[in-house]
Structure 1
C-alpha cells in the first residue's frame, strides 16, 4: 500500500505515532488488570490454579475445592461467573475473593447500561424531558426489583375516588 500511495495520502510516520499513543493509552487504562491477574485466573478456573502460588489464606480452601468432584462438575455445568454462588459455607475466603472480583465488572456494566439508556431517552424527539424526568427514568430502570405497594396507592387514591356519573342514563 505504501508504495502505491503517496506519503501525503498515507503518512506512515503520523499513523505510527497514533498507534503508539493508542498502545500507551491501552497500557495505562488496563494496568489494573495486570495487577489483578491472579484474581482473574482464580475466578476463571479455580481448578487449574497452582495452590502453592496462591495467597496463604486461600490455599486450604483451594485444596478442598480441587479435590471435590461434585464441585468440579458444578463448575463445568454453570461456568465461572455463576460458580461462586455454589461455593459451600466451608470455603468463605474463596467466596469473598469471587465476590470482590465479580463486583469489578458489575459496576462497570451498570454504568454502561445506564449511559446507553440515557442516550436512548435523551433524543431530539423527546425535547420536553426535564432533568427530573431523566432522573426518574434512570431510577426506575436501575432498580433491581421494583414492586408497587398497592395498598398504599389505593389508600392515597381513596381521597380522589370518582363516583360513576348518573347523567349517562
Structure 2
C-alpha cells in the first residue's frame, strides 16, 4: 500500500516538473532541450500521458483506497491521536466493509486501549494481532484476518502466470478458457484426490 502511495506522489511530482519545464526527472528531454534551444516543447502533451496512467492506476487500485484507513488502524492500534470521533468512523468502515455489527466493533476497538497486556506488546507490529484474544475480540479479529488476507504472498500469483505461459502456447491455441482454468487449478493446488474412495463409489461395469 505504501508503494501505491509513493507511486502516486512520484507521478504528481513528474507533472509539476514538466509543467515548470525543469525536467529534473527527465534527463533525456532536458539534454535535448539544451542541445536544441529553439525547440518548443508542449508540456500538455506529456502531462496528459502521465495523467492517463494515474487515472488508470486509481481505477485499478480503488478498492485498496477504501481500506487504507483500516490498514493504518490495525498497523497503529495504539495511536495516541485517535479520538472518539475517529473510533466511530473506523468502526463504521469496518462494519460496512465486512458486514458486521457497528456497536460491537466500536466496543472492541475501545477496549484494547485499556488493556495493559496488549499495550505492552504493541511494538510487535502485525504479529501483535496473534496475541489478541479471539474470545474477547471476535469481530475485530475477524476483520483483521480478512484484511491480512488481502496482502498475502505473491507466490501463487507468480506460479499461476508461469504455468499459464506454458499452458497457452501456440500449439494449444484451441484451449478454452474453462479448460485453462481447470489446468491452473491443478497446477497451483495441493489437493490430492482420494482415488481409492472414488473408485469404490463408482459403478463398475459387469462382465457380459
Q: Give the TM-score category using the shorter length.
A: 0.5 to 0.7
Is 1:122 aligned to 2:172, yes or no?
no
Is 1:20 aligned to 2:51, yes or no?
yes
Q: Write the distance in 1 (CA, Å) between the matches of 2:63 and 2:180.
A: 33
Equivalent pair of 1:41/1:49 in contact (CA under 8 Å): no
Higher RCO (C-alpha 8 Å, min separation 6): 1
Is 1:98 aligned to 2:140, yes or no?
no
TM-score, normalization: structure 1? 0.60
Q: Write the distance in 2 (CA, Å) between the matches of 1:83 and 1:18.
A: 43
Shift of residue 138, structure 1, vs aligned partner = 1.6
Q: Write the distance in 2 (CA, Å) between the matches of 1:35 and 1:18.
A: 26
TM-score, normalization: structure 2? 0.51
Q: Write the distance in 2 (CA, Å) between the matches of 1:27 and 1:86.
A: 35
Partner SS for 2:34: coil
**Unpaired stretches in structure 2, ≥5 consecutive residues:** 1-29, 89-105
**Unpaired stretches in structure 1, ≥5 consecutive residues:** 160-169
Q: When the two structures are aligned, how many residues end up with a matched partner?
A: 150
Cα RMSD of the aligned pairs, angstroms, is 4.1
Alignment of 1:23-34 (within 5 A): 23-34=54-65
User: How far does the alpha carbon of each residue in 1:32-56 deviate from its partner, in whole angstroms, 9 at most, with x for none?
Assistant: 4443232011232324365532233
Find the counterpart in structure 2 of residue 37 from structure 1: 68
